[in-house]
Amino acid sequence: MKVIISGGGTGGHIFPAISIAGALREKDLGCDILFVGAEGKMEMERVPAAGYPIIGLPVAGLKRSLSLSNLVLPFKVLKSIRKARKIIREFRPDIAVGVGGYASAPILWVAQRLSVPTLIQEQNSYAGLTNRLTGRKADRICVAYEGMERFFPKDRLVMTGNPVRNNIRRPTSGEKAEALKHYSFDPEKKTILVLGGSLGCATLNNTMKKWIADGQPGGEGIQILWQCGKGYYEGVKSFMETASCKDVVYSGFIDRMDYAYAAADLIISRSGAGTISELCVAGKAVIFVPSPNVTEDHQTHNAMALVEKGAAGIVKDSEAMETLMGYATALVKDEAAVRTLENNISALARPDAASAIAEEIFSVCKNRIL
């Protein structure tokens, strides 16, 4: 079987896509998989590193603010559609799978017009524009939240959950000890992991800087692992070189997320769908700070789906500078509250999501043949 997997732009799209590819190969070792992403985006590095070929399209996303780049967007879209048509005609896939993001639009649009079966994986509780448009003709839509018939034909929806990286699971006490040793952390102290997503987050970085500059109030007995994002790394490094700071380890990007999750007693994070799914599987207490700079405020919708089940805390982006670290340092010391959050978020985990989506891919192809 030949499969195209398209999408990307952020780790939240890329890592689930790689997990789906891995599940396909587990079920069919001879499955021929080709990724299609956006030129210059992180998938062009991460996918080959995982052992899969990828072709980049010159497609770009629409800037919501006034931007000169929007003027050339139609030309990039047309060029991407032409390239997508060439890819499909040469590769001749049995199915095209879209994992979201503007990079998936050209391939899905062309595939549907060339009668190639399509499957969409919608991660969020509020469907993105690309998936809403291509979902009208998709053979199957795999979702992670209830109520998605608002966006897609109900008879083609399948609840699968979101795929997570293969090495993510609820850590044992031994794995936690190993992770703490990896970061040279004190096992007697509480550990907070600060995640701004694969690209970093100005709000969380500025909040951390303020907390450190203020003398780390409430930070007694607490150590921090801080992923600041590659684009912010040099600025954070300059700040940390002059700051009077202890018990803070920072990094542009964390490759071993299994270690990061295992070390953490509490996590502060944006609420992208992929991150939420990993936190559910890892069973970690979390405070979400939803990004306000996303379509239809979908990160708030994602976070509230957990908050309403007592499975997470939440702080508004606009309030993070003043309230986040006070809330976090108090919560991480409340072991009963942390344990309740861990148990509630674990109940929402779908560790077999990648396998379930792979089964749907095979099912769509089989039904088309019949």
pLDDT, tens only, 32-83 = 999 999 998 889 999 999 999 999 999 876 555 555 656 666 777 899 999 9
Q: Is 200 annotated as a binding residue?
A: no
- What's the confidence (pLDDT) of residue 121? 96
- Domains of the chain (ranges; CATH) run 2-164+351-369 (3.40.50.2000), 173-346 (3.40.50.2000)
46: annotated binding-site residue?
A: no
**165 among the known binding-site residues?**
yes
Residue 157 phi/psi, 5° resolution? -85, 140
Q: What pLDDT sits at residue 59? A: 82
Amino acid at site 71 = L
The gap from C-alpha 165 to its chain's centroid, in whole angstroms, comes to 10
Rounded CA gap, 263 and 260, in Å? 5
254 is in an annotated binding site: yes
pLDDT above 90: residue 95: yes
User: Could you give the 3-state DSSP secondary structure of residue 313?
Assistant: strand
User: Is the distance from CB of 156 to CB of 141 less than 8 angstroms?
Assistant: yes
Q: Is 363 annotated as a binding residue?
A: no
Average pLDDT, the chain: 92
Residue whose pair of structure tokens reads 């003709």 in the numeric block: 137
Look at residues 329, 350, 202, 200 and name the one whose alpha carbon lies nearest to residue 276: 350
Is 205 within 8 Å of 232 (Cβ atoms)? yes
Single-letter amino acid, residue 370? L
For residue 286, with 0-12 CB atoms within 10 Å meaning exposed, 13-18 middle and 19 or more buried, which class applies? Answer: buried
Find tokens 């207490």 and name the residue: 285
Residue 128 marked as a ligand binder = no
Is 10 annotated as a binding-site member?
Answer: yes
The Cα 1–Cα 362 span in angstroms is 9
SS3 32: strand
pLDDT over threshold 80, residue 307 = yes
Query: Which range is least confidently modeled, 71-85, 123-137, 221-235, 320-334?
Result: 71-85
Asked if residue 12 belongs to a known ligand binding site, the reply is yes
